[in-house]
Amino acid sequence: MAASLGGCDRLFGTAPDPVATPSPSAAPTPSASAAATASVDGAKQVREETDTFLFEYSWPTEAGEIPALAQWLQTRLDRKREQLANDARRGREAARGNGFPFNQYSSDTKWTVVADIPGWLSMSAELSSYEGGAHGNFGYDTMVWDKTRNVALEPIGFFTSAEALDGVLGERLCEELNAERARRRRDAVPEGTDDLFNACVTPDETNVLLGSESGEKFDRIGIQIAPYIAGPWAEGTYDFSFDVDDDILAIVRPEYREAFAQRN
């Protein structure tokens, strides 16, 4: 699945991602770092600030209460923190070498629960980062935790293919998107244009969420679109939600069919 943060890679690919051992990261000296970690009832919030970067990462109680998922998240926290520290160090060195001022880098990841149903925990993350330039980047990530097998799955992997999901939702998504574009731009989207910011967007270019109104089955499909995918930065993000219907149920992979139901 494509990234949703200004071209950055997603945290995992389309295949299930088994829990891995957290990789070590090089910590700054105590004098150069101010770090705080808060853990309450499984929820975790980390904040670390040094001369070169500000790092924040959090997840909710529902995730922390599942040991394998907490470790999965911790692994990604460690990797992201290490990457930020290395990028910030190189950025400062490059700035010094070129006689430019260096602006502190930052990375913030906030995981929240989309749906907590029997056997599954669906989650979404808001991602923001800054690595110099006129403004930072903003985007999303998503995953569904299989409580039985203790693995993370991409929501789009619950369907027979990305093309099948686009075939069912693509037209509806395009209509909703163009209506919202027109509202924000105060002008209808021109037909027949090949402009990137006027084109339809396929579900696999977005952040797909599996939601639940009933609390028992997945009965809602959410779509989050980050800046630069459907419009310029100034337009912000786009969010849409669709009821699970017969057409969507027909493209759910057989092994996941029991987790879905039409929304009443």
Residue 40 DSSP SS3: strand
Asked whether residue 264 is assigned to any structural domain, the reply reads no
The pLDDT of residue 192: 73
The pLDDT of residue 35: 78
CA distance 171 to 201: 9
The two counts, helices (H) then strands (E), for the chain are 4, 10
β-strand 53-59 against 105-117: which pairing, if any? Answer: parallel
How many structural domains does the chain have? 2
Domain that holds residue 163: 156-259
The pLDDT of residue 31: 34
CA distance 63 to 43: 7
Asked whether residue 127 is assigned to any structural domain, the reply reads yes
Query: Do 190 and 84 fall into the same domain?
Result: no
Task: Tell me the mean pLDDT per 10 residues along the chain, length 264.
Answer: 36 34 36 69 94 97 97 97 97 93 96 98 97 84 97 98 97 96 93 85 96 97 94 92 97 98 87
Among candidate residues 101, 136, 153, the one where a domain is terminated: 153
Tokens of 215: 């609390």
The pLDDT of residue 32: 53
The pLDDT of residue 23: 34
Tokens of 75: 């692994």
The pLDDT of residue 90: 96
- Those residues with Cβ within 8 angstroms of residue 212's Cβ, 6 or more apart along the chain or in another chain: 115, 117, 122, 218, 219, 220
Residue 55 DSSP SS3: strand
pTM above 0.85, yes or no: no
The pLDDT of residue 128: 95
Query: Do 141 and 167 fall into the same domain?
Result: no
Asked whether residue 25 is assigned to any structural domain, the reply reads no
Among candidate residues 129, 153, 177, the one where a domain is terminated: 153
- What CATH number has the domain bearing residue 139? 3.30.565.40
Query: Do 149 and 168 fall into the same domain?
Result: no
